[in-house]
Copies of this chain bind each other. A is one copy, B any other.
Amino acid sequence: MAKPKIDRRTLLKNSLSVFKSKGYTATSMSDLANASGLLKGSMYHYIDSKEQLMLEVLNSLMDHYINKVFITAYDEELSPYDRLFLLSKKAEEIYIYEDAGNFFANIGLETKNLNLGFEKVIQEFFEKWIATVEYIYTYVVSEEDAHVKAESVVAQIEGAVLLMKVMDDAGHLRRVLAGILVEYKELEKENSVK
């Protein structure tokens, strides 16, 4: 029994899925091991501790967002609106279909006062996300307004996702995403007029 039962990526994916469902504290090493068909003890071949595993999960998830999602914002072959549109589609997928809730937000809230060292990655994720949205808004408003706008967009989505999770109703998130797109179109018009 020498060959790895599982590759690191799969391990991280499985762990993410357990953490998503039960949060950090309520997830036990047993849960994580089970999710990957390993024994508790075998987990420690792959990781140093539960804490470090979560950190790696957060980091790899952030990489995914940066390289697969946020990158859309910088695709100069597309119009700014189309980029925002694609981002919103991806957001819908992520939040509604992948049930990713918002993992970063959830874990951030749960572990804020637990001194587990996740804060840095989580803040970074939000900074990156805001920067992404901000970039698209620089096409239609001033740099300064773009930042405020981006923060507002991110907050609105987060709020909508939260409401969706807690109220078990995805309608609101869809409306929020639609609203953001409509408003962007208007900003584009105002901008072109000037």
Q: What chain B residues lie within 8 Å of A168 (beta carbons)?
A: 123
| Shortest distance between the CB of A6 and any CB in chain B (Å) | 19
The stretch of A83-91, A134-142, A156-164 that contacts the partner chain:
A156-164
Shortest Cβ distance from A104 into B: residue: B166
Contact of A172 among B113, B151, B165 (CB under 8 A): B151
Asked whether, in the complex, the Cβ of B159 is within 8 Å of the Cβ of A162, the reply is yes
Closest Cβ neighbor of A169 among chain B residues: B151
A17 to chain B, nearest CB (A): 11
Query: How would you classify the secondary structure of chain A's contact residues: helix, strand, loop or mixed?
Result: helix
A110 and B108 contact, CB distance less than 8 A: no
A101 cross-chain contacts in B, Cβ below 8 A: 109, 112
Contacts of A5 in B (CB 8 A): none
Whether B162 lies near A176 (C-beta < 8 A) is no
Complex-state Cα separation, A166 to B105, whole angstroms? 7
Report which of B109, B112, B158, B159 forms a contact with A154, defined as CB distance below 8 A.
Answer: B159
- How big is the A interface, by class? 35 or more
Q: Does A42 contact B (CB under 8 A)?
A: no
Q: Does A26 count as interface, using CB distance less than 8 angstroms? A: yes
- Which residue of chain B has the shortest Cβ distance to A125 in the bound complex? B166
Q: Is A64 an interface residue (CB 8 A)?
A: no
Is B165 a contact partner of A112 (Cβ separation < 8 A)? yes
Query: Mask for A154-187, Cβ within 8 A of B = 1, else 0?
Result: 1111111011011110001001100100000000
A172 touches B155 (CB 8 A): yes
Contact of A155 among B21, B22, B108, B176 (CB under 8 A): B176
